[in-house]
Structures are given as C-alpha cells and as structure tokens.
Amino acid sequence: MIKHILVPLDGSEYAERARAFAQDLAEPLKASITLLMVLQRGLASFPRVAELDAHSKKLAMDYLVPFRERARAKTDVQVEFGNPAEVIADVATKSSADLIVMSTHGLGSSVQHPMLGSVALRVLHLAPCPVTMVRIY
C-alpha cells in the first residue's frame, strides 16, 4: 500500500507535472507527500558560502510552501543540499517513502536522451522504492 510519496522538484514545468500527478495519486490513497528540493552548495572558496546557501534555502522554501498550503493531501516540504540523485534516494530511505514520483527530465535538461535525464536515471539505480517517471512530452 502506498502511504508516503516523495516528489523531487526543481522548479521546472516538468517537475510541476510530476507534482500534480503525485497529488492526484495521493488523494484517493490517503497518502502523504513530501516535496523535496535539492540544491547545490555554493563554491567552497567563496567567503560568503553559508550566507548564499541560507538565501538559496529560503528561496526554495518560498517556492515549496505554497504547494503545501494548497495541497489536498497531507504534504511536507524539505530542502536539502548535495548531489540530487543521492539526496533523493537518501531522503526516500530515511522517510520510508513507498514511491518516488518525478519527471523524466528536469530544469536545464537538454533532453538529449529521449527517455531519461541523468538525475532520473541515477535515481532509478539508487532508489530504495519504486519510482514513477512522468514524461515531459
């Protein structure tokens, strides 16, 4: 039974489709959703890295919170730093996600690979649970 769905978001229109799909799936199942945004850390040699990271996290939360407030299913939001695929798999494990719902391609994806972007492909290899990919076309 699906009780918890993890939805990685990157701000792209493609990820929005995955979020909407997950919301539609969660409602009849009475499943909860975690919306996750994974950010890259600032340049280590830059003197104000912590300040930039804090600002980036605030911007990400500003993006995610309205989705939580409008959600029809119980929804949490989370922002983490690191390698997107690794963080997605790690959060899925730690949160006992039953399903990951994400888009096949993300923000800045060149769509060179017709089936999957690099993050989506890596998540498929690392995920501790089933993964549903929402097509971009």
pLDDT of 34-66, one tens digit each? 999 999 876 555 667 777 788 888 888 888 888
Going by C-alpha positions, the residue among 131, 20, 30 that lies closest to residue 74 is 30
Quote the domain boundaries for residue 70.
4-134
What does pTM read for this prediction? 0.88
Residue pLDDT, tens place only, 57-103: 888 888 888 888 888 889 999 999 999 999 999 999 999 999 999 99
- How many domains are there within the chain? 1
CATH number at residue 44: 3.40.50.620
Backbone angles phi, psi at 6, to 5 degrees: -100, 130
- With a CB cutoff of 8 Å and minimum separation 6, the contacts of 101 are 5, 6, 7, 18, 19, 21, 22, 25, 131, 132, 134
Helix then strand count (H, E) for the chain reads: 4, 5
Residue-level pLDDT at 115:
74
Residue pLDDT, tens place only, 107-129: 765 555 567 788 999 999 999 99
